[in-house]
Structure 1
Amino acid sequence: MISKELNETLTRTGPGTEAGEVMRRYWQPAALSDELAGNRPVVPVKLLGENLVLFRDDDGELGLIDRACPHRGADLCFGRLEDNGLRCPFHGWHFNRDGQCVEQPGEPEGSKMHEQIKTTSYPVVEKNGIIFAYMGPGEPPEFPNFDCFRAPDTHVFAFKGLWECNWLQAMEVGIDPAHASFLHRFLEDEDPADSYGKQFRDKAADTDIPMTKLLRDYPRPDITVEETEYGMRIIALRHLDNGKTHVRITNQIFPEAISIPMSREMIITQWHVPVDDENCYWYSMFTSFTDPVNKELMREQRLKEHRLPDYAPLKNKRNSYGFDPEEQMRETYTGMGLDINVHDQWAVESPGPIFDRTKEHLGKTDVAIIRYRRMMRAAIASLKEGNTDGLPMLNGTPPGDIYGPISNDTIGDREKWREVSAASDAERRAACTGWNAKV
């Protein structure tokens, strides 16, 4: 358990908060490129507690500015997209993508007042279906050379979903390898052929044991954590009865992303982005090492489970996440269907918007959660001292020199699991088609 004060420090991310100041030093997912499709590419964005509006101007360039017009606070999400910027319908004040007011048509002829009016604006960059924003001071950091950023657009599918909880409890489920043996336990093993784009519905690498059975039969992984230049490498070893070991390597990418293996051909990089202190979006980039992804199919699958325009899941606390006691007896551990996103959603939303961590009791399998919180505390302390020494990717190796990260799922000799894992990833990269995954 931790103190109420520390819980507040770790979870609050609005302007002026300590964790929020850390997050503002990194690129944050702000929207999907899909959200700007159509004749009027203007969408509201709430990010780290700030109300913003994202738009694409006549040149195809992106702007992210304060949602409230600096004149009298009218909502610029209803602005007129014209003259290569956004014009407030209230009095016609016109803003470019840098937030600069370039025209005040109702003011006296020759007025220069507009030159003194500039609203909040943030740099934005589009990467393989996700638009990222930098909300911190100074020049933005460069992007790391992660596989999800280096792969061509044809090999990456991006999506997002809304969860009604604080970002920290959402992120922490992704760095908890033990939960998969229970929360995602399937009581029957099915053919995963019709589950394109879903995790844990495939056979464990290099064996005929379905992943669902492996997680069910071996629920006590040995978990170790290694700190890296990007955050943490989390290693979960499930020792099988035949002298082999199932090795699963996931990664925590500081401050709030994870990278997990989905299959031998695909990894998922996922951010848990604060909307405000009680809601967050997960943004996922599915990256294929072999064939181009079937974006239409993957999007169709996800939209069957989410509503637009807010990407809220159709299964939620208001309909008990689709809980079926008969299913819980015979098919799944949760009784909430086959989509593990719903399982995770229930696990992170049911403790409440911000879990009272003065009541929690962490065990040995929570080692990554403990290490992560220490890492965030170190980053907060570092910024308070006026430096970035405690911030991964900003305190040493230039982000552009950071590749991977290696997320893997394989089986091999118990005593040689590191060699087996490295060889498995090398094999995957060597077989990569369509783009250069080698580093």
Structure 2
Amino acid sequence: MISREENARMTLTGAAMPAGKLMRLYWQPVALADELAGPRPVKAVRLMDQDLVLFRDEAGRLGLLDRDCPHRGADLAYGRREHGGLRCPFHGWLFDVEGKCLQMPAEPPDSRYCERIRQGAYPVRERNGVIFAYLGAGAPPAFPDFDCFIAPASHCFAFKGHMECNWLQALEVGIDPAHASFLHRFEEDESTETGYGRQFRAASIDSNIPMTTLLREYPRPKIDVEPAPFGLRLLTRRLLNERQTHLRVTNLLFPNAFVIPMSAEMTITQWHVPVDDGSNYWYAMFTSFGQPVDKDEMRRQRLELYELPDYKPRLNRANHWGYDSEEQRTRTFTGMGFDINVHDQWACESQGAIADRTREHLGTSDKAIIAYRRLLLRSIAQAEAGETPLMVLDAAAASGITGPAAMDAIGPTEGWEAYWPEVDRKRRSNASWAKSAA
């Protein structure tokens, strides 16, 4: 049972909050690189209850600054990008990507006041289309050698979407293996040949059975959760017969990401990043072990639901997530169309801005949720005690955190434990860029 105090410890991510202090020990996605395209690469962003401005200077360097000018608090998101930094339009103070004040043009020419002013600035790094920020104190951790970070740009596609709810309930959907048989159930199966770019429309590895069939007809999985160097590994089995078992391998990347399969050759690494306590963005990196990703098609599909420039969904609470009772009776379990992002949106947002976990009654199928919450609370306590939590990595440790493996596959009922690592090994051996998985 989760108490109100524990719920607050896990969900609130302001700078003074326990979970906020923990989350600031890690790199967090803050924008897509695409959002800085165009003639003025300056963007207001909000991350974990902090208002910031992200920009590229004329040399292409990324900067992330506190949004309020340290002079009199004017909004730097409206700043002029010039002369090696971002200039406040109010009095012309100019700041570079490190927060150093370069100019105070209204001050006397011999004034050295500029040397004493520093704007809050934060490290930023770009990885395969996602810009990450570090809001913590001291040096940031190293990036692990996850597949989505080391794959060539041609084999990775990044996208995002907005959700009107707390980050934790959104993340917990991604580490819940049981929900897919219900929330994402379709009463009809499409050809797996036309499922590119859409989750649960492909076939499992070593079969031609559509994932929609497997999820619909085998709704009672056996779930095993085990600790891993990166967080948690989830092994979900659906017994087909005495000889064959469907195996789904997914992963929790601590603290707020997961890796799941998309198709036989593609995986999804997805973060749920707090904007504030009542909203979050998901950032997904789609990584291919086979052919280069068709980025134009992937983007076209997702822009059918999400509107620019804020990546907010067209289907939401205001229009009941597109709910149709006749469709629910005859075609889908939810009655909310065939895009699983809408299903997840409803499941998360309908719990309220912050889910009241004191009212839950968890079952056996929730063992991954339970394991993650224990890990999260333990890590918050470690951070409070000044200890180093899981996945705060130095360069040596980061190079050993690879993969991880994620797949849907039809394997043997007896010997499945050896089957899935071999499937992963074969897939990686055919990808010139891939490392063996941790």
Same fold (TM over 0.5): yes
Equivalent residue for 1:174?
Answer: 174
- Aligned partner of 1:41 in structure 2 is 41
Query: Hey, what does 1:409 align to over in structure 2?
Result: 408
Question: What residue in structure 2 maps to residue 220 of structure 1?
Answer: 220
**Cα deviations by residue, 1:119-141 (Å, 9 ceiling, x for unpaired):** 11100000000000111111111
Is the CA contact (8 Å cut-off) linking 1:229 and 1:393 kept in structure 2? no
CA distance in 1, matches of 2:407, 2:296: 26
Q: Provide the C-alpha distance between the structure 1 equivalents of 2:334 and 2:252, rounded to a whole number of angstroms.
A: 26
Contact 1:230 1:393 in 2 (8 A): no
Shift of 1:395: 9.1
Aligned residues: 437
- CA 1:148–1:8 in structure 2 vs 1: closer, same or farther (change >3 Å)? same
Q: Which amino acid aligns with 2:284?
A: S
Q: Distance in 1 between matches of 2:31 and 2:391?
A: 24
- In structure 2, how many angstroms separate the alpha carbons of the residues matched to 1:65 and 1:369? 35
User: In the alignment, what sits opposite 2:105?
Assistant: 105
- What residue in structure 2 maps to residue 83 of structure 1? 83
Contact 1:289 1:432 in 2 (8 A): yes
Matched-pair contact (CA < 8 Å) for 1:32–1:129: yes
Q: Does residue 20 in structure 1 map to residue 20 in structure 2?
A: yes
Go from structure 1 to structure 2 and tell me whether the alpha carbon gap of 1:152 and 1:362 turns closer, same or farther (over 3 Å shift).
Answer: same
Question: Does 2:376 align with 1:376?
Answer: yes
Query: Secondary structure at 1:177's aligned position in 2?
Result: coil
The answer to whether the 8 Å contact 1:11/1:19 transfers is yes
Unaligned runs of 5+ in 1: none
- Tell me, yes or no, if the aligned pair for 2:141 and 2:394 is still in contact at 8 Å: no
> How many angstroms apart in 2 are the aligned matches of 1:246 and 1:375?
28
Q: 1:209 offset after TM fit, Å?
A: 2.0
Distance verdict in 2 for CA 1:342–1:83, change over 3 Å: same
- Whether the 8 Å contact between 1:244 and 1:413 is mirrored in structure 2 is yes
Task: For residue 438 of structure 1, report the CA deviation from its aligned partner.
Answer: 4.5
Say if 1:72 and 1:314 are closer, same or farther in 2 by CA, change over 3 A: same
Q: Name the structure 2 match of 1:306.
A: 306
Instruction: Measure, in 2, the Cα distance between the counterparts of 1:10 and 1:144.
Output: 24
Partner residue, 2:94 = 94
* Deviation of the 1:358 alpha carbon: 0.9
Write out aligned runs for 1:115-134 (5 A).
115-134=115-134
Matches within 5 A, 1:341-360: 341-360=341-360
Letter of the structure 2 residue corresponding to residue 337 of structure 1: G
Contact persistence 1:158–1:284 (CA under 8 A): yes
2-side partners of 1:437 and 1:301: how far apart? Answer: 30
Q: Which amino acid aligns with 1:216?
A: R
User: Which amino acid in the other structure matches residue 258 of structure 2?
Assistant: I
In structure 2, what residue type is equivalent to 1:184? H
The aligned residue for residue 295 of structure 1 is 295
Partner of residue 430, structure 1: 429
Give the AA of the match of 2:400: D
Give distance in 2, aligned partners of 1:292 and 1:207.
Answer: 23
Gap change, CA 1:249 and 1:350, over 3 Å in 2: same
Identity %: 57
Does structure 2 conserve the Cα–Cα contact (< 8 Å) formed by 1:229 and 1:397? no
Alpha-carbon deviations, 1:155-176, whole Å to 9, x = none?
0000000000000000000000
Displacement after TM superposition at 1:402 (Å):
0.7
Query: CA separation in 2, counterparts of 1:242 and 1:415?
Result: 8
TM-score normalised to structure 2 length: 0.97
C-alpha separation between the residues in 1 aligned to 2:395 and 2:413?
34
Secondary structure of the 1:5 match is helix
What is the TM-score with the length of structure 1 in the denominator?
0.97
> How far apart, in 2, do the equivalents of 1:397 and 1:437 lie?
16
Letter in structure 2 aligned against 1:326? E
CA distance in 2, matches of 1:36, 1:333: 39
- Paired residues of 1:204 and 1:214 also in contact (CA < 8 A): no
Paired with 2:197 and 2:15, the residues of 1 have a C-alpha distance of 36
Alpha-carbon distance in 2 for matches of 1:333, 1:313 = 20
For 1:431, give the aligned amino acid. N
Matches of 2:396 and 2:217, distance apart in 1: 41
Aligned to 2:284: 284
1:330 equivalent in structure 2: 330
Gaps of 5+ in 2: none
C-alpha distance in 2 between matches for 1:275 and 1:153: 27
How far apart are residue 391 of structure 1 and its match? 2.4
Q: 1:326 to 1:422 in 2, by over 3 A?
A: same
| Aligned alpha-carbon RMSD (Å) | 1.4
The structure-2 alpha-carbon separation of the partners of 1:235 and 1:436, relative to structure 1 and needing over 3 Å to count, comes to closer
